[in-house]
Amino acid sequence: MTDSAAPVLAAELIRWEWVGRHLDDIRDALVQHVELTGLALLFGLLLAFPLALSAVQWPRLYGPILGVTGVLFTIPSLALFILLIPFTGLQIQTALIGLTIYTLLILVRNIVEGLRGVDNDVREAAQAMGYTRARQLFQVELPLALPVIIAGVRIATVTTIGLVTVTALIGWGGLGQLFIEGFTLNFSTPIVVGIVLSALLAFTADLLLVGLQHRLTPWARSGGG
């Protein structure tokens, strides 16, 4: 692309006066996007921890849990959302349940892998020091598993932010609503705004989580991982 073509293409892709007139709509879409992502992650974490802990406690469950979650993950997102419609209609639950299921798959795997990665010597040392099972879990194993768990939360967050746009097809969608609007109007500006903002949202969330991990795991900093 030559220097002169770039501004022309940019002008064709985005009309700033439209953006100016629709700041409220854009903000509402962004807020809905953040809400859907946040709620899905919250529910995902609440469900993933008990599942992952039982998989660690009873290793026999690990295979089946991973198998089921793996199969669920191959189901196309749109198909999953639509499959839920008979049960929950076009309400927000449909979007939320679908999004939560996807986060669950990523989170369970990472929590289990994180906990299993804890060095056995560390575990035995905790036992020798008289730690109860619960105290050992919360004060030794979970903190050590944190980097892998947060890696999972990062993947789940970025994936969910992308998936939220698909829920536009079942009446939600956050920034994905802007895609549908652009499609109906055959007008690229809302689509570009939606793509750029959802990508920015994903990067911002990812950076915040990296920062969080940095703060929560000071001992891992010198590791260079």
The helix/strand/coil state of 15 is coil
Report if residue 138 touches another protein, rule: CB under 8 A. no
Verify binding: residue 101, another protein, rule CB under 8 A: no
**First and final C-alpha spacing in the chain:** 38
Instruction: Take residue 62 and report the two structure tokens written for it.
Output: 């690990």
Residue (140 or 170) nearer to another protein, CB: 170
Residue list 159-218, contact with another protein (CB under 8 A) = 159, 161-162, 165-166, 168-170, 175-176, 179-180, 182-183, 186-188, 191-192, 194-195, 198-199, 202-203, 206
Does residue 88 bind another protein (CB under 8 A)?
Answer: no
The CB-of-38 to another protein minimum distance in angstroms stands at 17
As a whole number of angstroms, the distance between CA 131 and CA 139 comes to: 9
Closest C-alpha among 2, 139, 110 to residue 52: 110
Structure tokens at 198: 């959802």
The C-alpha angle with vertex 138 and arms to 136 and 143, in degrees rounded to 5, equals 105
Give the one residue of 41, 48, 55, 80 binding another protein; rule: CB under 8 A.
80
Residues numbered 111 to 130 that lie near another protein (CB under 8 A) are 113
What is the Cα–Cα distance from 223 to 215, expressed in whole angstroms? 14
Interaction pattern, residues 23-62, with another protein; x per rule: CB under 8 A: ----------------------------------------
Nearest by Cα to 140 from 108, 113, 109, 117: 117
The angle subtended at Cα 196 by Cα 173 and Cα 34, nearest 5°, is 40
Residues that bind another protein (CB under 8 A): 13, 71, 74-80, 82-83, 85-86, 110, 113, 148, 151-152, 154-155, 158-159, 161-162, 165-166, 168-170, 175-176, 179-180, 182-183, 186-188, 191-192, 194-195, 198-199, 202-203, 206, 225
